[in-house]
Amino acid sequence: TEAGETIRATLFPGDGIGPEIAESVKQVFNVAGVPIEWEEHYVGTEVDPRTESFLTWESLESVRRNKVGLKGPMATPIGKGHRSLNLTLRKELGLYANVRPCNSLPGYKTRYDDVNLVTIRENTEGEYSGLEHQVVRGVVESLKIITRQASLRVAEYAFHYAKTNGRERVSAIHKANIMRKTDGLFLKRCREVAEKYPEITYEEVIIDNCCMTLVKNPGTFDVLVMPNLYGDIISDLCAGLIGGLGLTPSCNIGEGGICLAEAVHGSAPDISGKNLANPTALMLSAVMMLRHLQFNDQADRIHNAILQTIAEGKYRTADLGGKSSTSDYTKVVCDHI
Amino acid sequence: TEAGETIRATLFPGDGIGPEIAESVKQVFNVAGVPIEWEEHYVGTEVDPRTESFLTWESLESVRRNKVGLKGPMATPIGKGHRSLNLTLRKELGLYANVRPCNSLPGYKTRYDDVNLVTIRENTEGEYSGLEHQVVRGVVESLKIITRQASLRVAEYAFHYAKTNGRERVSAIHKANIMRKTDGLFLKRCREVAEKYPEITYEEVIIDNCCMTLVKNPGTFDVLVMPNLYGDIISDLCAGLIGGLGLTPSCNIGEGGICLAEAVHGSAPDISGKNLANPTALMLSAVMMLRHLQFNDQADRIHNAILQTIAEGKYRTADLGGKSSTSDYTKVVCDHI
Ligand SMILES: CC(C)[C@H](C(=O)O)[C@@H](O)C(=O)O
Ligand SMILES: CC(C)[C@H](C(=O)O)[C@@H](O)C(=O)O
């Protein structure tokens, strides 16, 4: 790799098992010759008043400058008044779409072998507004906010994604039969964008029916786009179909072209520091980051090495029923690159 | 059966396939000697101004008087301003809990054979408030309302159900990490009731995690209680695990001890009148009604006859991959009683 091609990317190893699995990513990137220089930022133990969270202003600036990054799990700080670090990141960086490809992994057996779909979640509004109050004693309300702008933005991203990734269908998931105005607005924007993509089939599926179909016949879905809470629920449901969050990559698309790849599993404090963690989700997320950067050759090689290691089944971490350590598993992936 | 024991129950055959599958229930009830006299009410074609829907005032009064009823599918009338008949029923009769036992059916193969759980859905408030408005152009909001009273009522029902049905665990499903006030209030009431049932294990599960666990390992759940929208989603997901809404019974518990059993599938206008519909969900719902009335002997006999017919696999309707007509299938169930 020539020096001039080197890309700077932000790395948030995160809490708990985060640093160990981030180390695995660094190793596979080295072996594959990925021309990335990491700018590493740790989540601290003191609240930065500028962000009101353990994430410092500098760490956010790093992503804004580099426009690309990778994030491990971040524990929500204990104690009143601390904002979740994940939510802080979404808000501060305007991470408007969470993208999760969900594919059955050959060789890793679950009840499903035909999952090949992508969930695209609106990531900034809806039920996550934080607006709640007590009306009178014993009566509380939460506000779900849907805007034209955020709906349009995520719909545009979903169709763009479908087109550039050779996908054929986009399903908008909703409950507009009940929430006619909010989910109705979301659907209107999806329809508007759908008209610009006549080559992509567009359909609308009610969330309860969607979840039933997902567990009966996930092969019927291709790209799913939806408001925040439905995305939260359905993306985890889909992860479950292929084996769980330890195997599911994700990436967040933010304002100004930011791409922040992210393992969405927890920080697993119980096994942290014990060389037992499964780095697969973070590695696969890093592959999404590489594709975003058009490092397709390295992305393919790393991706195939991970799939091959899992398919062979000899080296697996404990969460997948194996006996390998994080470092042994990582070494096998490196050998396969 | 002695005349004095006869119970009057309301029957809403409903739309589409409703009358055919209601006929099946009448037949099995006859064969099993169930001492019930039906008060039948059809959904009309003219809006009754007193109910603002196709459901007449008299039909609602019938349930209020009898306190027990059975309901087939009701299509939502087409055209602006018509309220969904299902929602009208829930509101007018104060149907505060929707109960759906979900059990794998021996002999009917799905990806799961270990489902044995019950979902209990708060059925009157939450995201179903109907309160929505435009804040400014391009910004709309929906209100989710949670009350102390409705939360307590459904929590009490769930624990009572668990205890009287030999269940060991109640899981409250929520997203209180995001909706701290609304889902938080719901959880508080669940905890309050849990303390009165020390013999029942109580746990709280976040909805995204719940859905992932349901698709990976549904056997870990027993009784699930939750706010309205989560119940809508999870109860359909669970139905999917055992084969769909055609096999899933449900019953609604309402104010003043009302029990309205209900098949939750659609009215299937495409096959209506063709003797092709699957009456299983309505029959199993009718069995729930019988258990509510303590007609346990008849309930057991009908229930076993249905399970036996499905397990034998020779007579099944088209939706389950078989070739039987509604009447042939019903006849076999009757023969097994
Ligand atoms: C931790 C929680 C706030 C978060 C969410 O609800 O968005 C998580 O479930 C996720 O999906 O990233
Ligand atoms: C038809 C619709 C209004 C209804 C609901 O959302 O409650 C349905 O999905 C159900 O579960 O009975």
Q: DSSP per residue over B228-251, as a string?
A: HHHHHHHHHHHHHHHT-GGG---E
**Cβ contact B284:B306 at 8 Å:** yes
Within chain A, residue ranges assigned H as helices are 18-31, 57-66, 85-92, 148-164, 182-194, 207-216, 228-242, 280-292, 296-312, 326-336
Given the CA of residue A177, which atom of ligand 2 is nearest to it? 3
Q: What three-state secondary structure class fits A40?
A: strand
Chains A, B: CB contacts under 8 A, how many?
163
What's the pLDDT at A84? Answer: 82
Neighbours of B142 (CB within 10 A): 27
Nearest protein Cα to ligand 2, atom 7? B232
Nearest protein Cα to ligand 2, atom 11? B232
Measured in Å, residue A303 CA sits from the centre of ligand 1 at 26
Given the CA of residue A84, which atom of ligand 1 is nearest to it? 3
**Is B109 in CB contact (< 8 Å) with chain A?**
no
Nearest protein Cα to ligand 1, atom 1? A86
What's the pLDDT at A43? Answer: 81
B160 class by beta-carbon count within 10 Å (0-12 exposed, 13-18 middle, 19+ buried): middle
Given an 8 Å threshold on Cβ–Cβ distance, is B143 in contact with A142?
yes
Given an 8 Å threshold on Cβ–Cβ distance, is A134 in contact with B245?
no
**Cβ contact A104:A114 at 8 Å:** yes
CA A260 to chain centre: 8
User: What is the full per-residue pLDDT of chain A (337 aa) written as tens digits?
Assistant: 444 579 999 999 999 999 999 999 999 999 999 999 999 998 877 888 888 888 899 999 999 999 999 999 998 766 556 678 888 899 999 999 999 999 999 999 999 999 999 999 999 999 999 999 999 999 999 999 999 999 999 999 999 999 999 999 999 999 999 999 999 999 999 999 999 999 999 999 999 999 999 999 999 999 999 999 999 999 999 999 999 999 999 999 999 999 999 999 999 999 999 999 999 999 999 999 999 999 999 999 999 999 999 999 999 999 999 999 999 999 999 999 9
A245: closest CA of chain B, how far (Å): 9
Among B residues 166-205, those touching chain A with beta carbons less than 8 Å apart: 175, 177-182, 184-185
Among A residues 13-42, those touching chain B with beta carbons less than 8 Å apart: none
Ligand 2-lining residues (CB < 6 angstroms): A 177-178, 208; B 84, 86-87, 232, 264
What's the pLDDT at B47? Answer: 82
Given an 8 Å threshold on Cβ–Cβ distance, is B175 in contact with A239?
no
What's the pLDDT at B81? Answer: 60
Q: Using a CB-CB distance cutoff of 8 angstroms, which residues of chain A are in contact with residue B112? A: 111
The β-bridge partners of A10 are A39, A69
Given an 8 Å threshold on Cβ–Cβ distance, is B141 in contact with A144?
yes
**Cβ contact A222:A171 at 8 Å:** yes
What's the pLDDT at B79? Answer: 59
What's the pLDDT at B3? Answer: 46
Neighbours of A157 (CB within 10 A): 18
B87: tokens are 């929602």
Pick B207's closest partner by Cβ from A135, A233, A245.
Answer: A233
Given an 8 Å threshold on Cβ–Cβ distance, is B212 in contact with A239?
yes
Measured in Å, residue A72 CA sits from the centre of ligand 1 at 14
CA distance A314 to B222: 35
Q: Mutation test of ligand 2: which of B15, B102, B232, B238 has the most ligand atoms closer than 8 Å to its C-beta?
A: B232
**Is B127 in CB contact (< 8 Å) with chain A?**
yes
Given the CA of residue A208, which atom of ligand 2 is nearest to it? 9
Ligand 1-lining residues (CB < 6 angstroms): A 84, 86-87, 232, 264; B 177-178, 208
**Is A229 in CB contact (< 8 Å) with chain B?**
yes
Given the CA of residue B175, which atom of ligand 1 is nearest to it? 6
Taking phi over 0 as left and psi of -120 to 50 as alpha, with beta for the rest, A131 belongs to beta
Q: Which residues of chain B have pLDDT under 50?
A: 1-3
| Nearest ligand for residue B175 CA | 1
Given an 8 Å threshold on Cβ–Cβ distance, is A142 in contact with B181?
yes
Measured in Å, residue B135 CA sits from the centre of ligand 1 at 27
CA distance A209 to A37: 45
CA distance A46 to A50: 12
